[in-house]
Structure 1
Amino acid sequence: MFASGAATSAIAGSEDVVVEDAWARASIGVNRPGAAYMTIRNTGDEAVTLTGIRTRLAITPNIHQTSTNAEGVSSMVPAGEIEIAPGDAVSLEPGGLHVMLMRLQQPMAEGDDFSLRLDFSDGGEIVVEVPILGIAARGPEG
């Protein structure tokens, strides 16, 4: 199944997962990483766990967590698996959890899109079509 700005359901047992408002910013060539953002919603009554992501666009896609310490210094670290409680949602957004696209295979050009596969612990997956917005975009509306 596919998702973009609209919601879609997963397959293979993750049928209660919905992805909303996927988007990415255009990149500056391929020497800098890209990022993608979305909301992942669990509409079911059991927890689901996001275990990984894949895309042909980047050799090393990961979910990262940005945090800022008391001195105002920001850092990013891989987030690992993400559990989404029943009826809850996880927002992947600038300044927090986000998809980090390292070692881009091609530039992320405004107006293009790319496929991003989300893998879940029950074997389910969702393929999301992520639109690439302008380099200064602040959200899915541009």
Structure 2
Amino acid sequence: MIKHLAVVAAAVAGLGVLSISPAQADAAQAQGPINYSCGPKIHSGGGMYMTEVRGRRGKAVLKSGSRGWYVEGAGLRRGDRVSLDWSDNGGRSYHACHAVVRNKWGTALTWTVDEVPGRSFRACVKSKGTWRCTHGWWKTRWS
């Protein structure tokens, strides 16, 4: 068992860091979340507001909660998207966790991503075919 885990760990280490833009992730969205990018299917509820970005309609709000960071979308339409982008190297490469608006209220919520030392975050929203992201990256309070 331990030997098997070492082989798997070595194989995973050889993959490197996946870096995709929100636009590139559109195709992957139909297949579900990228397993090594997005956190557990939970959110912190009532998280602390950090910043927001306004799309061509609606907005995405970046929040920090007790279980990590997530993005809430509001004022959007079905099919619009929000993204929680996170990076361990200040944004030179990053992962994107998406949520698609599927309800009549125009809301969406991304999965939570853990807060670890050095990690930074931003929120993005796609409405009317255009992506917009917060300016700069927000660092964890542990950085």
Fold match, TM over 0.5?
Answer: no
With the length of structure 2 as denominator, give the TM-score of the two structures.
Answer: 0.40
Which structure has the bigger radius of gyration? 2
| Structure with bigger RCO (C-alpha 8 Å, 6+ apart) | 1
TM-score normalised according to structure 1 size? 0.41
